[in-house]
């Protein structure tokens, strides 16, 4: 079977995925709009192409790991896009966190072009993308899943098969990321409170990690924030986008999510306050200043 894989979008997650596949024996070609990311990919030994179409030529599968729906549409159907170059029957893994109706629209366009859409958002951060332990939420036709099972299982040891309806991967990712945003906002708030009360923030996090308040994202982000490390692994803009996408999904379903609304408002405030390009651990600094 052809082992050619195109990876378009080699940010923190995309690069980890590309290197993981390369190390598992796949022939990976990469593309990004950021020359710095392409230079980093080259330094890691990846082949870098001038367009998504060039990366996709002759490939059995393409992975889209860009930021939002607008970028996804451009990568798929714009000039030099994937759909114009992938062989018929090739698969496209849609990995960005986007609205379910956008995923459905892209899946329909890919199917019309003779391609196999795989709705496959991922979660876990760049380290887990690199070592294959991130989670992957997959919705696609059974035949597409079986044909590309080797790629999917190389990417993730925690694959959740959600069925065949396009958009269910996106729905599940928004459910997850809304809770991630709630947990992170809550952790930042209580650590700011602990410090205001005269407690040591690091010791407070030690207690939380071994008690009922523990969450993975709190430990991951707040350790860095307490150390003053706000270098972006996941920009604050991303959870701002994702929590608001989840709120939109809830509105379309006629459901109120008041805790999620408060968390989303906090991410929006962080972006407005100059933290947009920093790691989302920056919520602690924002709340310290309140």
Domain boundary among 166, 197, 219: 166
Share of the chain above pLDDT 90, in %: 97
pLDDT digits (tens, 9 = 90+) for 271-286: 999 999 999 999 999 9
Separation CA 34–CA 79 (nearest Å): 17
Structure confidence by residue, pLDDT tens digits, 180-209: 999 999 999 999 999 999 999 999 999 999
State whether 157 and 200 are in the same domain.
Answer: no
Q: Which of 173, 221, 224, 244 is catalytic?
A: 173
- Domain with 16 in it: 4-166
- For the question of whether the overall pTM of this predicted structure is more than 0.85, the answer is yes
Tens of pLDDT, residues 9-28: 999 999 999 999 999 999 99
Taking alpha carbons only, the member of 90, 72, 86 closest to residue 170 is: 72
Helix (H) or strand (E) holding 39: helix 35-43
Q: What pLDDT is stored for residue 145 in this prediction?
A: 97
Per-residue pLDDT, averaged over 148-155, amounts to: 97
Q: DSSP states of 185-215 as a string?
A: HHHHHHHHHHHHTT--HHHHHHHHHTSTT--
Same domain, yes or no: 160 and 178:
no
Nearest alpha carbon to residue 166 among 116, 219, 227? 116
User: Rounded distance, CA 195 to CA 244, Å?
Assistant: 29
Of 120, 139, 166, the position where a domain reaches its end is 166
Is 173 annotated as catalytic? yes
Residues 157 and 115 in one domain: yes
Q: Which two tokens stand for residue 120?
A: 């496959």
Report the CATH number at residue 147: 3.40.50.720
The whole-number pLDDT of residue 118 equals 98
């Amino acid at each position: 079977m052809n082992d050619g894989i195109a990876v378009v979008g080699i940010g923190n997650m995309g690069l980890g995925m590309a290197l993981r596949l390369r190390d598992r024996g796949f022939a990976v070609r990469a593309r990004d709009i950021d020359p710095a990311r392409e230079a980093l990919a080259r330094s890691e030994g990846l082949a870098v192409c001038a367009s998504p179409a060039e990366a996709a030529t002759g490939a059995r599968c393409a992975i889209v790991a860009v930021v939002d729906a607008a970028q996804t549409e451009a990568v798929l159907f714009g000039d030099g896009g994937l759909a114009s170059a992938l062989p018929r029957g090739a698969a496209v893994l849609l990995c960005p966190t986007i609205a379910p109706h956008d995923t459905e629209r892209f899946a329909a366009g890919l199917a019309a072009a003779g391609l196999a859409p795989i709705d496959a958002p991922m979660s876990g951060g760049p380290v887990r993308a690199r070592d294959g332990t991130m989670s992957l939420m997959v919705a696609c036709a059974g035949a597409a899943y079986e044909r590309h099972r080797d790629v999917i299982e190389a990417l993730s040891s925690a694959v959740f098969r959600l069925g065949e309806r396009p958009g269910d991967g996106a729905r599940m990712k928004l459910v997850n990321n809304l809770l991630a945003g709630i947990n992170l906002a809550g952790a930042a708030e209580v650590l700011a409170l602990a410090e205001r009360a005269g407690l040591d923030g690091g010791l407070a996090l030690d207690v939380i990690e071994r008690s009922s308040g523990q969450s993975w994202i709190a430990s991951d982000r707040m350790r860095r924030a307490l150390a003053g490390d706000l270098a972006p692994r996941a920009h604050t803009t991303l959870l701002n986008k994702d929590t608001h996408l989840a709120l939109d999904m809830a509105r379309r379903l006629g459901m109120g999510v008041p805790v999620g609304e408060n968390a989303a408002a906090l991410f929006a405030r962080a972006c407005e306050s100059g933290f947009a390009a920093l790691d989302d651990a920056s919520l602690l600094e924002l709340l310290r200043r309140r």
